[in-house]
Amino acid sequence: MTDGMADHMTDLADPPLLSVRGCRQAYHKDAAADLLVLDDVALTLREHEMVALLGRSGSGKSTLLRIIAGLLRPTAGEVLWHGSALDGPPEGVAMVFQSFALFPWLTVQANVELGLEARGIPRAERTRRALEAIDLIGLDGFENAYPKELSGGMRQRVGLARALVVHPDLLLMDEPFSALDVLTAETLRTDLIDLWIERRLPVKSVLMVTHNIEEAVLMCDRILVFAVNPGRVEHELAVNLPHPRNRQDPAFRQKVEDIYALMTRRPAPAPPAAPGPAPAARVVPLHRVGTNLMAGLMETLAGAPYHGRADLPALAAALQLETDELFPLGETLQMLGFAELAEGDILLTEAGRGFASAETDARKALFAAALRAHVPVVATIRQVLDERWNHRAAAVRFRDELEDHMSADYAEDTLRVAIAWGRYAELYGYDEEAEQFFLEDAA
Amino acid sequence: MSSTIFPALASARRRSNLWDAAAFLCVFGALVAVGHVARGTLAPLAAPGAVSVRLDPAFLPGYAVRTTLRMFAALFASLVFTFTYATAAAKSRRAGMILIPILDILQSVPILGFLTFTVVFFMNLFPGRVLGLELAAIFAVFTSQAWNMAFSFYQALTTLPADLAEAADSFRLTGWQRFWRLEVPFAMPGLVWNTMLSMSGGWFFVVAAEAISVGDNTWKLPGIGSYVALALERRDLAAVAWAILAMLVVILAYDQLLFRPLVAWSDKFRFETTASATAEDPWVLKLMRRTILLNRIGDAAGVLAATIGGMRLALPVRLPVLGRGRAGPPSRAVDALWLAMLVAVLGWAGWRIVQFVGAELSWAEVGHAVLLGSFTLLRVAVVMAIACAIWVPLGVWIGLRPAWARRVQPVAQFLAAFPANLLFPVVVVGIVRFRLNADIFLTPLMLLGTQWYVLFNVVAGAAAFPGDLREVAANFRVGGWLWWRSVALPGIFPYLVTGLITASGAAWNAAIVTEVASWGSTQLTAHGLGAYIAVATARGDMARVMLGIVVMSAYVVAFNRMLWRPLHEFAIRRMTY
């Protein structure tokens, strides 16, 4: 970190390419206080650096990227681009999308020319520059193809060429490789890094959003680790390994381990937990994690070679799980009291071991108990159903309650998860047609 | 075909019914205004006698061309309307509040009922000149085409893929560039499909609009429709046959030369990320792609279109980026002002309608019209039931056999485009000859034009039925009634509902033409709302025409809301794969 700071000291005289200060983004909600997606985010980008925004899905990092791209206006705070405030998408910023966002009715060439056309550059010049970018990014021969004829990797190359052709000062990339398979993603990463270190990329700086820890360490000079609820930059690390970087290099592994440890660090316990009844659990969005996946992970952890404890990076590699899948899974187990995350490791608790060795019905009972103890929304649903004379209750009231604590989309997702988990635990049933919960034995 | 948009249901997720009432008032307030202008000037209008139609078949090709030109003029007007009206409705929240319900009501109004008002209106604009009549005919066709096209475009605009919209914004496309590069292409498959449906429906109306009688005046425009009308007056069956032949040729040409290639071409705009198996190109498209000269012309047109679409035209003010609340929450005060203005206009429109109809009509008359409406409703229901009974089993049988489906599908679409009113005389002759009951035997006329919608939708549904589910059914030896009940019918249900919606809409319109039929001096009249409107039109009784249209629209809207929309939602929710 100190090294990174030293780097910055040298060019402090220039205004930074981009600076974000005190940026807040909130959902507006009539009933409750505003729900924060981003809180007091600050970041500065200088020329000639590649920076990663690393965080879980739902941490607001894509929202921040859209604010920087001028596609969203923050609720509060300022975004300075070359020293002046941003109003709409600025010239000199180009974006690469996770979903590629190619126009299916335009050929590769026409897609690449789009940004030039928007600037009113004459046809001949457009063609020349587009061919140049197509050549740079390795798409020769595909000029006349339509996106649907291309593989995912080729499509993202078009996305890259389209962004590079306008020679942006800042290239924004929103999880650019996460929709690709492992090998294709790796090829694209190394191609991009090669162009970057050879200084052949016609950009000054790159800001990429990712949830892939290794990707961030492999590519970037600086990593901003995002925390969730609300989203904010929690840590900043410099990566000073020389390119090309080797994933097996001990220094590389150590960096990855460090970041895993940072990301699994428990939030500082607020007041010392008083003995007695556990404090009421906070209503938080539930991750979309299936019960089969949870059971599978607990069985795996209980057995050899892990015997109840596993190193997260190793586990992710062994199970071929993206960090974006592994973290929600681990956190869900932690929330339910079946496992604990600490220092980049996952540990199975007593309850977790019990679950792993139990039969189906016993598992359901354990799961039901864990849900009622640790998941407020499930506990509430069951309690309301128990109290009602007909043991039925409309889903909409629970959704409304959830919306006091989270956005409508998250509330919907969380309710879906509560339905699935409750069904598995046989705590209640759900009638999709009537949108009502009901008690199974009463019906 | 899977991207078929159901215009009647496009706004299904809209909330309030209050807006429907508002739209109702708007539409009929405007109608009353037009009628009011028209009424006082009905008498002095001279029939343009210069226009005469002859029964010699040698004139038919010329008539056919004129009829076709009217169709395309109307199509052009519909496109202009689509691009402006739907864009305004989608981009301005306040405009959309009232524009979309109005569109919803407009497409439920029986267009043939309009004819009286519009003919008189246009004749007033251009007194004593054929241009007025031409415009009236074109307007009639326009009113049959524009609404569902506008709806499909509106729907596309409100469902633009978020990532493409963001890409367009982040590359700073101007409004004009965004329109031609993103919005129009995205809407293209749905728009082309709806245009095709519109054209199919349009032939029916262009034929009806070429010979119009209001009060004592009869106007004829040279065209296939007026040719047939004359043939009916003169009891000339051979001439009717010639006209049918001419129409067949025209529709075949338009189908092969224009719409097959257009539909195939619009496939390129389909928004999907995977390449799907595509059908073979129609021969015209192949011809265009392979002939050097045509290819050059096509390329030149493409370059021109790209240049126009790529121009950096922009409004002097930067419009806020749609749907992303860049500008913060909307101003309550402006909303309130806008609402107050609407309420004022609506109140006035409502008052005028009551005044107009109330001056001449009693509540008893309204009750009478509602009763007649229920007869027509019964007819529509019976016709739909018959269409289902015949075409569902046949359609499923055909659809499950790809070789047959490929051959039948274009034929069914072709038959749907054929204006059934040309075939009416043949049936009417039979009824007159055998002295049959008009109330019963005029009803099948409704079936003539509308049944094909049911057929081609069912065929499409059966053809899209997943192979593995069929194998499951075969594997477990599911057969007989169980197979129909739990395999075939649920499988085609969404398609069947779509077909029935289109067909029933067409049937209501057809009622105005089918409940009254004539052969020479013999006139057959069935009891029904369609006949009520037709007879009132012939008498020039504006108030009764108005009442008839309002009641029929109310029936159609109620039918859509209470039956089709819930059915469609159910089908989408439960019976899609």
List the CATH number of the domain containing A240. 3.40.50.300
**B171/A89 Cβ within 8 A:** yes
Residues A137 and A173 in one domain: yes
Q: Higher-confidence residue: A250 or B220?
A: A250
State the count of interchain CB pairs (< 8 A) between A and B. 82
Counting runs of H as helices and runs of E as strands, what totals does chain B give? 26, 4
| Residue in B with minimal Cα distance to A168 | B171
| The two three-digit tokens of residue B427, written as one number | 């049936």
Domain with B459, as residue range(s), is 361-577
**B321/A71 Cβ within 8 A:** yes
CATH number, residue B393: 1.10.3720.10
**B273/A147 Cβ within 8 A:** yes
**B173/A118 Cβ within 8 A:** yes
Contact (Cβ atoms closer than 8 angstroms) between residue A53 and residue A210: yes
Inter-helix orientation angle A408-424/A291-302, to 10°: 60
Asked if residue A362 is part of any domain, the answer here is no
Considering only CB atoms, B172 lies closest to which of A28, A66, A91, namely A91
Residues A376 and A348 in one domain: no
**A166/B171 Cβ within 8 A:** yes
Place of tokens 């159609």: B556
C-alpha span between A284 and A94 (Å, rounded): 35
Contact (Cβ atoms closer than 8 angstroms) between residue A346 and residue A339: yes
**B268/A146 Cβ within 8 A:** yes
Asked if residue A345 is part of any domain, the answer here is yes
Asked if residue B264 is part of any domain, the answer here is no
In one-letter notation, the amino acid at residue A197 is I
Asked if residue B123 is part of any domain, the answer here is no
Asked if residue A208 is part of any domain, the answer here is yes
Q: Give the best residue of A62, A63, A114, A156 to mutate against chain B (max B CB count within 10 A).
A: A114
Residues A336 and A382 in one domain: no
Contact (Cβ atoms closer than 8 angstroms) between residue A80 and residue A18: yes
Distance of CA B41 to the CA centre of its chain: 31
Q: Answer whether residue A203 shows pLDDT above 70.
A: yes
CATH number, residue A313: 1.10.10.10
Interface of B with A in 270-289 (CB under 8 A): 270-275
* CA–CA min distance A312, chain B (Å): 33
Helix-strand-coil split of chain A, %, nearest 5 = 45, 20, 40
C-alpha span between B399 and B1 (Å, rounded): 14
How many domains, in total, are found in chain B? 1
**B324/A103 Cβ within 8 A:** no
Asked if residue A139 is part of any domain, the answer here is yes
In one-letter notation, the amino acid at residue A246 is N
| Residue in A with minimal Cα distance to B161 | A101
Phi, psi of B343 (to 5 degrees): -60, -40
Asked if residue B260 is part of any domain, the answer here is no
C-alpha span between B198 and B71 (Å, rounded): 10
Asked if residue B502 is part of any domain, the answer here is yes
Residues A166 and A307 in one domain: no
What single string gives the DSSP state of each residue in A95-152? EE-TT----TTS-HHHHHHHHHHHTT--HHHHHHHHHHHHHHTT-TT-TT--GGGS-H
Q: Higher-confidence residue: B412 or A76?
A: A76
Note whether A115 contacts B: Cβ–Cβ < 8 A: yes
**A103/B321 Cβ within 8 A:** no
Look up residue B314 and give its DSSP letter: -
Q: What is the pLDDT of residue B277?
A: 46
Residues A347 and A391 in one domain: no
Whole-number average pLDDT of chain A: 86
Closest listed residue to residue A38, CA positions, set A66, A69, A12, A10: A66
From residue A236, give the alpha-carbon distance in Å to each of A43, A56, A223, B81.
10, 16, 6, 55
| Residue in B with minimal Cα distance to A68 | B170
Q: Higher-confidence residue: B200 or A424?
A: A424
From residue A222, give the alpha-carbon distance in Å to each of A54, A242, A290, B307.
10, 13, 35, 43
Mean per-residue pLDDT for A371-386? 92
Note whether A148 contacts B: Cβ–Cβ < 8 A: yes
Report helix, strand or coil for A178.
Answer: coil
Report helix, strand or coil for A223.
Answer: strand
C-alpha span between A235 and A261 (Å, rounded): 12
Asked if residue B399 is part of any domain, the answer here is yes
Residue B285 parent element (H or E) = helix B283-290
Residues A216 and A114 in one domain: yes
Q: pLDDT band at residue A415, thresholds of 50, 70 and 90? A: very high
Closest listed residue to residue B70, CA positions, set B137, B8, B149, B162: B137
Domain with A296, as residue range(s), is 291-356
**B310/A99 Cβ within 8 A:** no
Look at chain B and count its residues: 577
Beta bridge partners of residue A224, listed in sequence order? A53, A236
Q: Give the best residue of B160, B171, B274 to mutate against chain A (max A CB count within 10 A).
A: B171
Q: Which residues does chain B have with pLDDT short of 50?
A: 1-15, 40-50, 273-277, 316-328
C-alpha span between B264 and B279 (Å, rounded): 8
Residues A259 and A169 in one domain: yes
Burial class of residue A140, CB neighbours in 10 A (0-12, 13-18, 19+)? exposed
Report helix, strand or coil for A237.
Answer: strand
Q: What is the pLDDT of residue A379?
A: 92
* CA–CA min distance B248, chain A (Å): 35
Residues A259 and A300 in one domain: no
Residues A308 and A395 in one domain: no
Q: Answer whether residue A438 shows pLDDT above 80.
A: yes
Considering only CB atoms, A105 lies closest to which of B170, B174, B268, namely B268
Q: Give the best residue of B166, B170, B192 to mutate against chain A (max A CB count within 10 A).
A: B170
Considering only CB atoms, B312 lies closest to which of A115, A120, A146, namely A120
Asked if residue A124 is part of any domain, the answer here is yes
Contact (Cβ atoms closer than 8 angstroms) between residue A398 and residue A414: no
Asked if residue B528 is part of any domain, the answer here is yes
Note whether B182 contacts A: Cβ–Cβ < 8 A: yes
Q: Answer whether residue A299 shows pLDDT above 90.
A: yes
Residues of B in contact with A106 (CB under 8 A): 181
Q: Give the best residue of A121, A148, A172 to mutate against chain B (max B CB count within 10 A).
A: A148
**B170/A89 Cβ within 8 A:** yes
| The two three-digit tokens of residue A343, written as one number | 């220092």
Residues A117 and A199 in one domain: yes
| Residue in B with minimal Cα distance to A174 | B163
**B188/A105 Cβ within 8 A:** yes
Asked if residue A62 is part of any domain, the answer here is yes
Burial class of residue A38, CB neighbours in 10 A (0-12, 13-18, 19+)? buried
C-alpha span between B490 and B469 (Å, rounded): 12
Q: pLDDT band at residue A55, thresholds of 50, 70 and 90? A: confident
From residue B543, give the alpha-carbon distance in Å to each of A69, A164, A283, B119.
60, 67, 63, 16
Residues A215 and A145 in one domain: yes
Considering only CB atoms, B164 lies closest to which of A101, A146, A162, namely A101
Asked if residue A280 is part of any domain, the answer here is no
Look up residue A359 and give its DSSP letter: -
Asked if residue A279 is part of any domain, the answer here is no
CA dihedral A105, A108, A110, A116 (to 10 degrees): 130
| Residue in A with minimal Cα distance to B322 | A71
Note whether A70 contacts B: Cβ–Cβ < 8 A: yes
Considering only CB atoms, A97 lies closest to which of B167, B174, B328, namely B167
* CA–CA min distance B309, chain A (Å): 10
Asked if residue B263 is part of any domain, the answer here is no
| The two three-digit tokens of residue B171, written as one number | 């590359």
**B318/A105 Cβ within 8 A:** no
Q: pLDDT band at residue A282, thresholds of 50, 70 and 90? A: low
CA dihedral B397, B399, B401, B406 (to 10 degrees): 130
Asked if residue B449 is part of any domain, the answer here is yes
How many domains, in total, are found in chain A? 3
| b/e map B285-297, b = 16+ CB within 10 Å | beebeeeeeeeee
Q: Higher-confidence residue: A375 or B313?
A: A375
**A119/B188 Cβ within 8 A:** no
Note whether B169 contacts A: Cβ–Cβ < 8 A: yes
**B272/A148 Cβ within 8 A:** yes
Place of tokens 């990320």: B273
Q: Which of A250-264, A311-325, B298-312 has the lowest mean pLDDT?
A: B298-312
